Chains A and B, each alone.
Chain A
Amino acid sequence: MQLTIQQADLAFAVGRALGSVSSKSPLPLLSCILLEAEAGSLRITGTDLDVTTAVTVPCTVATPGRVAVSARHFNEVVRKMPRGPLVLSVTGGQCEVRYGDGKGWSKFPIQDAADFPRIPDLKADTRVSLGGDVLSRMVARTIFSASSEETRPMLNGVLVQGGDKQAVFVATDGHRLSKATRKGAFSGLAKDGVIVPTRAFQTVSRIAEEATSPVELQVAGARNQAAFTAQVGEYRVQVLTRLLEGPYPNYEQVIPRGNPREMRVRRSDLMEAVDIVASHADNVTRQVRFSLRPGRIGVSSATELGAGEHQLDAQYAGEAMEIGYNAGYLMEILRSIPTEEVVFRLNTSLAAGVIEPVGALPEAEEEMLCLIMPLRLPDAAG
């Protein structure tokens, strides 16, 4: 194998592929990346068997071939090499990279590429495409609510549903839920959708941000696999992932429609209040107390660490009410909403509350909604 490639191109490909290499894999080959050279391009693949990233970059190939090298080490060295053309070749059981027009070289031990896990070709039965910015926003608005609990694996990801009217992203861990929608025809994707693992979406959303083309999502339903493919300038990046097996819980059923009490508040004011007060909260339960009164709310907490209370103006006309929340959940939700004001739609102090932006989102075709389950306060009835 021998080829000539620009340092920037190689560094990009190696860096992205490394994103899917597990840092503590028991199999040495999984801490490697696979380099495959063929007619005018080099493809670099990293995988941890669940998520695979493959990046194809242009180059001049003299002799095609395949080789596996240690991901982290190769990345570290290539990254530091000077810009300009590099000559990469495999000789005598080593992978050699020459740089700076003969100024220097590095050699890397190689692994037998034949042992590298075979990444199956995706036999897609459906495909849909989404703008890179849209995808990364929808992921950012939902992914934080996904669960990391191993006992309910279907919640360790984001549900992605299509249809001819809208695309819907949903994540929940059973304590909170977030839902983002975008209007438009996404009929390539089924209405009941697929569950994309959190880890895959972390990788995908980074690529979606820098993508210069729409991101194409292909699903092979029968094999429970999906691929996200996008162009980043001249580079083609593909993230392959196993999908999580459902069934996903029926989330529509738990979104309350007619919550009677409405509280509107400036988002930044509320975040400030929760942030300060939560410093006194129990560092495990993160419990803060909301005291709703007409025209204002109080946020407070008291533990052996200390106590604090913060009053802020709010539009609230309902009766006085005390309700407990996990400050961590609340902050993540508030952070995900882009509007200046947010509205809480509440029922009882034990029932699910809806938190939504007030007014339209910056992108007119998009909507979002979050649910949060309260903490039952010790002094609450029941």
Chain B
Amino acid sequence: MEHPIRRLAPETATHIAAGEVIERPLSALKELLENALDAGARAIEVRVEGSLDRGFQIADDGVGIAASELELALERHATSKLRSLDDLDRLETLGFRGEALPSIAAVSRLRLTSRARGADAASYVAVEGGVTSGRGDAARAPGTTVEVSDLFFNVPARRKFLSSPAGEMRAAYRLLEALALAFPEVAWRMVVDGRDRLDWPAATSRRERASALWGARHAAQLLEARGERDGLAIEALLGLPEHGRASRGGQVFLVNRRWIQSPVLAQALRQGYGNLLPAGRFPAAILWLSVPPARLDVNVHPTKREVRFPTEESVFSLVAGVCARPLASLQPPFTVVRGGGTEPSWADRVRERPANQTDLGLESRSGPDATAGGGAATPAPAPPVAGEPEMWQLHRTYILAPVRGGLVIIDQHAAHERILYEEAFARLTGERASSQQLLFPAVVDLSRDQFELLLELGPWLKQLGWDLAPLGPPTVVIQGVPPGLRHESPGQLLQDVLDGVSERSGRTAHENVAEHLARSFACHAATRAGDALTLPEMRALADRLFATARPHGDPHGRVTFVRLDLDELHRRFGR
């Protein structure tokens, strides 16, 4: 036999498991933070040097690890949290597999220093790529410090697929935000390259924590919702409909204090907002759900970001119902998005049946209706300027433009996206755009990761015509906007653009920032289907589209226009 079955050497098995548990630097951070929380820490401090994969450390004031157990903690399937399978049903801790520490140790240089509560000294163990490289006494207050550096130094293949360090840092801010919301009683601090980046003192309530995260002004606008049914309890802080975002980036779901992803919760939340949000916008909200541990399956995915609920329907209806309540009592200006649908006119009831027009055999000369006479109440549509083409908007989505030999049907959104994309790209790589200064600068509260991205993209945003002044994080003042924008509140647009960039650049490193930004800007600043356009606007759109380098498709590759030939029409009508 060419490939006999063999049992893997323990190091190899650990290595493979490490790949699942620790897929990226962020997972290492997450696992270690969870350990600190499981140890009952009341204060957690994260220090990052350069980037997560270069090195970070986490210090907590939890129960600590006895000197005699330090090495055991680094062994696979060694845990103090689970004794038997039944314990899973009573699980109160975030960790339970005993895999995190050994997995991280297998792919990095790690140093674990701890002093158990009641012990009078601390000790440490150092490991490199899974192999113990030292141990001894150390000095520290009760609690644990884990230092991790050179992540994946011995897994070059993995290094290649890592996100950009900045993208990973943004994800880290999101993680800390989520955990801070899950554990408001814990004080959090994060220091990056010696600078204090986050500092959230222990809070006495969820709202107080939210206000530390996003500023008191923003937190005060969040709506509260709570409810309980069949042992499930939910509490939520809901963003106003007008603060809806272009992605789900503003949603944090915490189930039994675990930060999870959940399509069910996302849909339930969306349902709660009903028609207060137009299609394509997502509410910003934090949900805290508590479920009896015995009825929640947390062992679904190696990264523990997914859970299985006892019955999805009951979770769905509880969440949707509870969230809908405070939203229902909102007053305008949150105008309800009405469904379309025109009723047939009453004329059918009374109209005389159309008869065939008898024909004198003369060529009919159709002229414009005589609209002269006093009392014309609505201004007649302006006649097209001589020589300029007439154009029509169809269902507020398409532009019909006659061209020689036929008709062009333009998708207004796709076309505008193409135009804005090329313009933005030219701006980002060439001369800076002018910027329309604002009479009332807009103050916008961003989320932490949006704010970090904004700092990163600062110079590019300026090239595009944004004039931004960061206030204290995470607030920014918009003093000027790219000129010629329609329909958008600058703050909303800025957030959408940032979300678009982070969605695209989240996972893969070293991609062209200008490209991402141009795409995101074009996508969010473009006229939407449903926007009414005036004739000059339609003309400008058509002119600009055909002046672009690639008028045929938008940046996502969808077509921007189709052409209908007169010959084709003639053929269809049998001419």
Contact = CB atoms under 8 A, between A and B. Distances in A.
B143 interface: no
B262 interface: no
B377 A175 contact: no
Contact of B434 (A28, A80, A283, A378): A378
A150 B351 CA distance: 39
B535 to A, nearest CB: 13
Contact of A28 (B346, B378, B480): B346
A38 B32 CA distance: 82
Among the interface residues B433, B434, B543, which one has the most CB atoms of the partner chain A within 10 A?
A: B434
B346 A284 contact: no
B106 to A, nearest CB: 51
A254 B440 contact: yes
Interface string A349-380: 01110000000000000000001011111100
Nearest to A289: B434
Given A283-B540, A378-B431, A109 B346 contact: yes
Contacts of A23: 378
Interface stretch (A9-17, A209-217, A330-338): A9-17
B373 interface: yes
B483 A284 contact: yes
Interface stretch (B190-198, B359-367, B487-495): B487-495
B204 interface: no
Contact of A285 (B342, B434, B439): B434
Interface string A89-125: 0000110000000000000010100000000000000
Given A26-B340, A26-B342, A79-B373, A375 B483 contact: yes
A130 B93 CA distance: 72
B398 to A, nearest CB: 17
Nearest to A150: B487
A301 to B, nearest CB: 11
Nearest to B467: A376
Contact of B377 (A18, A109, A172, A378): A18
A73 to B, nearest CB: 9
B436 A326 contact: yes
A152 interface: yes
B341 interface: yes
A176 B436 CA distance: 10
Contacts of B30: none
A177 interface: yes
A324 interface: yes
B437 interface: yes
B377 A16 contact: yes
Contacts of B435: 375-376
Given A283-B540, A374-B437, A375-B435, A245 B333 contact: yes
Contacts of A184: none
Contacts of B343: 26-28
B378 A151 contact: no
Interface string B174-214: 00000000000000000000000000000000000000000
A28 B377 contact: no
Contacts of B431: 378
Contacts of A19: 377-378
A382 B479 CA distance: 12
B551 to A, nearest CB: 16
Interface string B430-465: 011111111110000000000000000000000001
Contacts of A176: 439
Q: How extensive is the interface on chain A, given as a class?
A: 35 or more
B438 A373 contact: yes
B349 interface: yes
Among the interface residues A23, A26, A70, A93, which one has the most CB atoms of the partner chain B within 10 A?
A: A26
B489 A151 contact: yes
Contact of A79 (B338, B375, B479, B492): B375
B486 to A, nearest CB: 8
Contacts of A376: 434-437, 465, 467, 480
A318 interface: no
B5 interface: no
B417 to A, nearest CB: 14
Interface string B407-432: 00000000000000000000000011
Contact of B437 (A14, A15, A109, A373): A373
B332 interface: yes
A12 B373 contact: no
A17 B377 CA distance: 8
Interface in B60-75: none
Contacts of A152: 489
B347 interface: yes
B438 A174 contact: yes
Interface string B470-493: 000000000110011011110010
B376 A79 contact: yes
B437 A350 contact: yes
Contacts of B358: none
Interface string A137-151: 000000000000111
Nearest to B338: A26
Interface in B474-529: 479-480, 483-484, 486-489, 492
Contacts of A371: 439
B136 interface: no
Contacts of B557: none
Contacts of B434: 285, 287, 324, 375-378
Given A28-B343, A75-B375, A254 B439 contact: yes
B374 interface: yes
A226 B108 CA distance: 71
A40 interface: no
Contacts of A151: 242, 487-489, 492
A84 interface: no
5 contacts: A11-B374, A26-B341, A80-B373, A149-B489, A283-B543
Q: Which 7 A-B pairs have the closest CB atoms?
A: A15-B375, A284-B484, A151-B489, A109-B350, A18-B377, A285-B483, A376-B435
